[in-house]
Amino acid sequence: MNAPHFRTPSGKLRARGAGIPFTGKPGRWNAITDVQGVEVGYCTLIKGEGPLVVGKGPVRTGVTAVFAHGRANANAAAFAGHFSMSGNGEMTGMAFVEERGRFDGPITITNTHSCGLTRDVTAQWLFSQLDASAKLDQPFWLPVAAETYDGALSDINGHHIKPEHVLAAFDDARSGPIEEGSVGGGTGMRCYEFKGGSGTASRLVDYAGRQWTVGAFVQSNFGKRHLLHIAGIPIGAEIPIDAPLVSDAENGSIIVIVATDAPMLPHQLKRIARRASYGIARSGGIASNESGDLFLAFSTANQAVVEQHEGLLAIEALAEEPMSRFYEATIEAVDEAILNSLFANETMVGRDGRIVPHIPIPRIQAILRRHGRLLEIP
């Protein structure tokens, strides 16, 4: 039994630990950090309770940072591709990714009204790490920053995320098993009208005598309850909402970051990013009218080549034939990451006493058992 597959570092139950069946073979930690070099850090802000007072709280928010090549190599570039399934949201730097097929520096994920701040702080921090005049390609940065809306639970208009919180997420960056649920940018998020947030998973792909890793990280804040499917079973239809909605459930989004150590070119990574849509659809996501479903895929391979500014490039890249294997791995990892964001979580009370419940694990287990779809974990 691989303990990190079943519980988070703090002991929260992951979907696999609850007996949810999945296809594919996960990596050592079943996380995006299974891709060598990738590190994830969080800063979580939870304070106050009661009626909303803009500028004071209550606060249920945070920042997530994803480093493609680790914090020690923060400025390192990576080939990348992006896809917008539903554009009612923001992911900065995508014009540059489209133009150059790469990005530099850490990715930040936060709430809607802090996205610009995390982007700017990232640029300032990168300048402090490496003088812009030393950059060979261009003397500036265009950081990737993404967001989903946590205003149903948090004082989003109070702008509680400050530069020090972004830096704290950078300082927290690590490899290995990582926390999930109401942490980092996912702190105030909802998913299928249950408590959602941060989730991750990975898959291994064998090809050409080598083993490659695909890892996914999600910030889940989307979905109507009745659409939720788990292991192919329409779970949401059997768990109706028995309390007034916090707010319109469509006012949500999902950010997906897919990482791989497989040597892919930008056009291949764009194709990988598109497949995140299928992973979301497995659990019932429909990219609703008010949803921002924005995806970025990157490869940690060819790092030196990505940063080479002159001369001829010697690039290792996958041929087209194996791409379907990586599509399958991406879809499986995204699906499991979303469910992990639900299972490794807890009920949250936010602004104005609004309650978003934790997904009822025993009830879901009973439904899946009835359908012969539950794995009994010893």
Whether residue 84 lies in the annotated active site: no
CA of residue 299 relative to chain centroid, distance: 16
Which of these is catalytic: 293, 299, 335, 341? 293
Whether residue 104 lies in the annotated active site: no
DSSP-assigned letters across all residues of 190-252: EETTEE--EEEEEEEEEETTEEEEEEEEEEEE---GGG--BTTB-HHHHS---S--SS-TTS-
d(CA 296, CA 147): 13
3-state secondary structure 258-279: EEECCCCCHHHHHHHHHHHHHH
pTM (predicted TM-score): 0.97
189: nearest Cα among 243, 112, 119: 112
pLDDT score for 136 = 67
Residue whose token pair is 């292991």: 231
CA angle 42, 269, 5 (to 5 degrees): 45
Residue 289: what residue type?
N
**What would the two tokens of residue 54 be?**
């803009």
Domains of the chain: 19-309+318-370 (3.60.70.12)
d(CA 136, CA 182): 39
pLDDT score for 130 = 77
Whether residue 299 lies in the annotated active site: no
Q: What is the pLDDT of residues 285-296, one digit of tens each?
A: 999 998 999 999
Which of these is catalytic: 198, 291, 299, 341? 291
d(CA 185, CA 181): 10
Which of these is catalytic: 86, 154, 253, 277? 253
Q: Kindly list the averaged pLDDT for each block of 10 residues, start to end, along the chain of length 378.
A: 91 98 98 98 98 98 98 94 96 98 97 98 92 74 97 97 98 98 98 97 97 98 95 95 60 92 98 98 94 97 90 93 97 98 98 96 98 92
Q: Answer positive or negative: Cα dihedral of 313, 319, 323, 326.
A: negative
Q: What is the pLDDT of residues 219-251, one digit of tens each?
A: 999 999 999 999 999 999 999 887 655 555 556
End-to-end CA distance of the chain: 9
